[in-house]
Amino acid sequence: MSGEELHKSYSARWENMWTQDGVLKPGQAFDAAKSSPALSAQLASGGLDVCGKRVLVPGCGRGYDLVEFARAGAGLAAGLELAPTAAAAAEAYLGEALSGEEAAHVQVHSGDFFAWKCPTGEAFDLGFDYTFMCALHPNMRADWATSWARLLAPGATLACLAFPLNHDKETGPPWPVTEQMYKDLLLPAGFTLVREEPVPAELSHAGRGGKEALLVFRRT
């Protein structure tokens, strides 16, 4: 199968996943019904400073992380979704969750991370990658890294909440990942590693404790 065929057939799974039993519900499958406590902690402590920044969250699902970024002062929190049903679910959820003022700083885009361009042509200052790289087929990972490099501005931050580490399954999604895998993919693509730390179990969603780490990269 060519890379293009793999990409097409693998990507088709997501709309099916979002619709197979009616629209995927909050708390079902990968949807944890809220943003990761590790992200909230980083935003509260200033470990990740998003004030006035343009933030991109690919594979944003229902958009829980966008709410966190908007409330932490992001100039723009943009979610990107391949599955049209996910994008619609995010619009509905955000319509309820956000105040009018917060909503002015949030956008949901439908599109494929590997080909998408921001409609304004502007690059992003911060990327957040959680439950996204692990969702992609392993053969798509090199393109994942170059796509991040394309969408982020020089000097931008890429925060990867690595998951699932220490995973006993060989196939996915979620495909098992290691911290080294993120470095091996991103360093040759034009990133430097700024920070790497394990996520304490109490800052992970239920069932994910001990399987997460934060790696922060800078786009050179």
Ligand X SMILES: C[S@@+](CC[C@H](N)C(=O)[O-])C[C@H]1O[C@@H](n2cnc3c(N)ncnc32)[C@H](O)[C@@H]1O
| Alpha carbons 217 and 184: distance in angstroms, whole number | 12
- x/- site string to ligand X, residues 149 to 188, per CB under 6 A? ------------------------x---------------
DSSP H or E run through 159: strand 152-162
Q: What are φ and ψ of residue 153, in 5° steps?
A: -75, 155
Task: Say whether residue 137 binds ligand X (CB under 6 A).
Answer: no
CB of 127 to ligand X, least distance (A): 13
From 39, 43, 135, 186, residue interacting with ligand X (rule: CB under 6 A): 135
Q: How many beta carbons lie within 10 A of that of residue 38, not counting itself?
A: 24
Task: Say whether residue 59 binds ligand X (CB under 6 A).
Answer: yes
Residues 17-56 that bind ligand X (CB under 6 A): 30-31
Which is nearest to 12 in space by CA: 21, 4, 2? Answer: 4
CB of 42 to ligand X, least distance (A): 16
Q: Name 219's bridge partners.
A: 191
CB 177 within 8 A of CB 133: yes
Task: Say whether residue 127 binds ligand X (CB under 6 A).
Answer: no
| Alpha carbons 167 and 178: distance in angstroms, whole number | 9
CB of 122 to ligand X, least distance (A): 19
Task: Say whether residue 11 binds ligand X (CB under 6 A).
Answer: yes
List residues near ligand X by CB under 6 A.
11, 14, 30-31, 58-62, 80-83, 86, 112-114, 130-132, 135, 173
